[in-house]
Amino acid sequence: MRDVVILLMILAIAITALRRPWIGVLGWTWISVMNPHKLAWRIDDLPLAALVAGCTLLGLMITRDRRSPFQGAASVVLVLFMFWMCVTFPFSLFPEQSYEMWSRVMKIDLMILVAIMLLLQRRQIMWLAWVLVGSLAFYGVKGGIFTILTGGSFRVWGPSGSFIEGNNEIALALIVAIPLIRFLQMQLPRDGKRWVFHSFTAAMLLCAVAAVGSHSRGALLAIVLVAFMPDEWTSRMQTIETYQADASAMGRINAWWMAWNLAKDRFLGGGFSIYSGSVFQAYAPDPTDVHAAHSIYFQVLGEHGFVGIFLFLLLWLLVWRSAGWLRKHGAAQPESKWTSDLGAMCQVALVGYVVGGTFLSLAYFDLPYNLLVLVVVARRWVEERGWEKEPPPVAHKSKILRLFGVPA
């Protein structure tokens, strides 16, 4: 039954995307971030994301409600980063093995550009925020309850086969999601039901509990919630102080040196598949200790060289600055105050990503790139004085939408 419900929902989104491609953007985001098909039994291997993406692209070609993807410096740098990855790919150490990840990254970034083109109105931006929050809060609330019920003795994991399958990865995703939950809470009507406000607070707390319950040391750097955690969790966190005796920590440092030496030797980097014995034999201090990069920075450095890491860092610096622009200029008008809140919370989320990402290989994960979308399209909305161009709210607006502060 679960398979049928999820499949019907995705098919409905795909069909709707032909006429309203921005709905397809939301559907793609839901599938790529939450991976709902991984919760089913028989449809987890179907190309459902490709179906929604294809219908969205067809709708994009038909609709007139679209803009150029080159909206501000951040989107331009994203395109340059994509171009550079296309340049480095043919010169990869192992092109055949790198193709799958290169193709996956290109699809993700393409849909990010499509989102920038299609999300034009406040309600569309808000719906994207809701999709991101709902997709991750599902795992955060569930994982937080699990951590409390088990006393934190077991780790929290993400959906299998996704970017956030590992305990470290789901922890970082939840840390990034918490500020977005707070943003949505800030948009609730002041005269609304108090239980709704408190439900958002509970969701944030449970996501924090789940992040810590993942036993991720990277998450510890971004959030501290240790009072009730058991000895199993405390003993793992204490290995931060004794990293030289911890095989995992030393393996990461070994992988970082490998990436640095590889980038110095090869201007274009080594491509997406560099975490093998032969590469570590040539570039790592300890050639027998083969590890993934476990750092968004050394991941990009090793895979795409110094030009790649420069573009990657520049991208997030520009997103940060655009979010800061929203904080300042969004507060200038009552109608755009929500964008000031969005900019502030996106900056908090970016801090979580750049700090937690120091120890995780999540350079291409969709979620931070969706922060880019939120910031870029919200800034465009403010610059164009979008509140003057959008139609007035529908009089018979849904009570449920009004309850949660969602624009009509």
Would you list the DSSP string of 240-281? GTTGGG-HHHHHHHHHHHHHHHHHHH-TT---S---SHHHHH
Q: Are 313 and 334 in contact (CB under 8 A)?
A: no
Residues 28 and 366: their CA atoms lie apart, in Å, by: 11
Count the residues in the chain.
408
Residue 316 amino acid letter: W
Give me the pLDDT at residue 166, please: 82
The predicted-structure confidence for 48-74, as pLDDT tens digits, reads as follows 999 999 999 999 999 999 999 998 999
Is the pLDDT at 96 greater than 70, yes or no? yes
Least confident span in 74-78, 192-196, 227-231, 299-303: 227-231
Q: Are 53 and 24 in contact (CB under 8 A)?
A: yes
Give me the pLDDT at residue 400, please: 56
Confidence label for 392 from pLDDT (cuts 50, 70 and 90): low
Give me the pLDDT at residue 228, please: 44
The predicted-structure confidence for 152-179, as pLDDT tens digits, reads as follows 777 888 888 788 888 888 888 999 999 9
In order, the DSSP letters of 310-351 are: HHHHHHHHHHHHHHHHHHHHGGGSGGGHHHHHHHHHHHHHHH
Give me the pLDDT at residue 196, please: 93
Is the pLDDT at 40 greater than 80, yes or no? no
Residue 235: phi, psi to the nearest 5?
A: -65, -35
